[in-house]
Amino acid sequence: MNTNTTSKTAVEQAHNSWFYATKPTGATLFLRTFLPWQLWRFIAINLKMVGMIRMSHRSQRR
């Protein structure tokens, strides 16, 4: 009979330290739900992608 059913095994303890994730701050949570910030990031990321695509298409024309 196993008497260690309630205590964590060494493997479970190791997994807990490997998969540690920090808790987001209040500012981070605010920015995640603030629609103007999300819109701005969406536009900025899309402009970066358009720029990268244009650069790759310029090299193919030659």
Output the pTM of the full model.
Answer: 0.57
Integer Cα distance of 7 and 13 in angstroms: 10
Task: Check residues 61 and 52 and name the one with the higher pLDDT.
Answer: 52
> At residue 2, what are phi and psi to the nearest 5 degrees?
-90, 120
Cα separation, 26 vs 35, in Å, equals 16
Residue 39: the pLDDT is 98
Mean pLDDT of the chain: 84
| 31 Cβ neighbours under 8 A, 6+ residues apart | 37
The pair of structure tokens assigned to 2 is 């196993």
Spatial separation of the C-alpha atoms in residues 60 and 16, rounded to whole Å: 49
